Structure formats: C-alpha cells, structure tokens
Amino acid sequence: MKIAGWTTLIYAVIVFIGGLIGHALSGSMASAIAGIGSSIILLASGIGVLLGKRAAIITALATTLILDAFFCYRFMLSFSFMPAGMMASLSLVTLMIQVAALRTSAGSHHAS
C-alpha cells in the first residue's frame, strides 16, 4: 500500500501543476479548478492510503480513472502527446499501481 500511497501523492502534485500550467497557457479557469480539485482529492486519498485506509484507495482509484478517461478522450481528439498523452500514460500507470494495492489489501483483508 505504501507504493500506491506515494504514487498517488506524486500523481496529485503532477495533476495540480498541470492544472495551473493549463490555466496559465490557455487562461482556462476550468483547467485550474479541475486540476486543483482533483489534486486535493488525490492528496487526501494518498495520505489515507499511506495510513492503510481501504476507502482511500478506492477514492484514489475512482478519481484517477475519471482523470484517465478525460485525458484519453483529449488525446484521441488531438493525438498530441503533450499534455493529454503524457497525462493519460501517467494516469494508467497510477491506476495499475492502485489496482494492485487494492487487490493486495482485499487479499489481506479476507485473510484476517
């Protein structure tokens, strides 16, 4: 769970920075709000994952899945790696780590 927690925290920082960069480059307030809002949820979830909270990994997973769907959609519209393709790739890696952590916690939860 620690790897998933740290991965989620790092991903949250990247999402936050990306939202601010999106706002700075295009003036998109929606980008800033979505980036900041998502990063707050991810930061709280990442801390919860580090504390071993199962609900936190589920929240992180759901948030990352939504962001991945959004970035994949944007990538399919633009076929531009930056920023949509890169964020879709980072989201997918983060999802895989979170799913692995969820599966591990489910196995240890049932074994107790």
> pLDDT, tens digit, for every residue of 75-86?
999 998 888 899
Tokens 């916690």: give the residue: 105
56-76 pLDDT, tens digit per residue, is 999 999 999 999 999 999 999
pLDDT at 112: 44
Residue 100 has pLDDT above 70, yes or no: yes
pTM, full prediction = 0.89
Count Cβ atoms below 10 Å from residue 35 Cβ, excluding itself. Answer: 23
Mean pLDDT, the chain, integer: 92
